[in-house]
Structure 1
């Protein structure tokens, strides 16, 4: 009976250790990608900043025109303010306030639109990078790919960043 218990116990130990070995082997090949670096390089490759600047160029120029008109009116107030009648001064101040409120409104709308479009472009790049990571991982036989920021130590051979960047279409 004692030998049977020992044999069963030994069998359990062997069985459980083989399960742990299989579990450890299952997630054996782990790679990493510097996603922030990939995003930056791909944004430069696709000219995202230039594209967005071109898209909002007219509105930026309009804001610069308003700034110029405001500066002209401020200079006029400084230069001729004491010589103006109170009604002229009031009229000029109202024009300046109107320009300032128009500027603030348009600048805020522009900022919001730029933020929204920037997020859209960033999301497109994220999707491309994700697809490239999946393709490279499948092709190279990696079971798991993590962000390089989460890695404390890894073999440089498991760095898939350059492969992912070149795989983005």
Structure 2
């Protein structure tokens, strides 16, 4: 009876230890700021965003040139203008400046929105690959070190090389210069 009790106790302990081992979480990390720029689609997305941005830059340069020309004209003729003419010209210059500022703010918002829109499929693809690698390698948690700062943490595994391999990116690939 005592032997049966000891055997049962050993079995219960082994099962408990097995469940404890299964309960252990495997944690990995990846820096998506290193992954995204080396993905092949990244160059296409950044080129599209840059082209979209350029359409706004051209208009802003036109407004800047108009403001500069009219300002120079105002400076040259200011001494011979009446007070009413000066006030009207200053109002016109202020209006052009306000339009340029408003246009620039609107352009920045639209470019940021377009960038997010174009980048979403790329981010989704990266997330899918990270999820697949984590599942294949048995990771319970993956931390993105580009957006989280850890002061003290246990040693974990960097998933960047495995995710690059999953996406067919050379292990030595580096982000494009200037991006």
Question: TM-score normalised to the size of structure 1?
Answer: 0.73
Residue by residue over 1:135-157, the C-alpha shift from the partner in whole angstroms, topping out at 9 and shown as x without a partner, is 3334x4334351253673436xx
Aligned counterparts of 2:128 and 2:51: Cα–Cα separation in 1: 28
What is the aligned partner in structure 2 of residue 154 from structure 1?
155
Q: How many residues align?
A: 163
Unaligned runs of 5+ in 2: 169-179
CA contact (8 A) 2:41 2:122 kept: no
CA contact (8 A) 2:74 2:89 kept: yes
Range with bigger deviation, 143-152 or 50-59:
143-152
| 1:111 corresponds to 2:108 | yes
Residue by residue over 1:16-42, the C-alpha shift from the partner in whole angstroms, topping out at 9 and shown as x without a partner, is 453233342465755432222212333
| 1:61 corresponds to 2:62 | no
Report SS of the residue matched to 1:154: coil
What is the aligned partner in structure 2 of residue 168 from structure 1?
167
Residue 86 of structure 2: which of 85, 89, 97 is its match? 89
Aligned counterparts of 2:71 and 2:41: Cα–Cα separation in 1: 40
Unaligned runs of 5+ in 1: none
Range with bigger deviation, 106-115 or 118-127:
118-127
Which structure carries more helix by proportion? 1
Q: CA deviation at 1:96?
A: 0.8
Aligned counterparts of 2:138 and 2:94: Cα–Cα separation in 1: 62
What are the equivalent positions in structure 2 for 1:1-169 lying under 5 Å apart?
7=5, 11-12=8-9, 14-25=11-22, 27=24, 30-42=27-39, 45-138=42-135, 140-147=136-143, 149=145, 152-154=153-155, 158-168=157-167
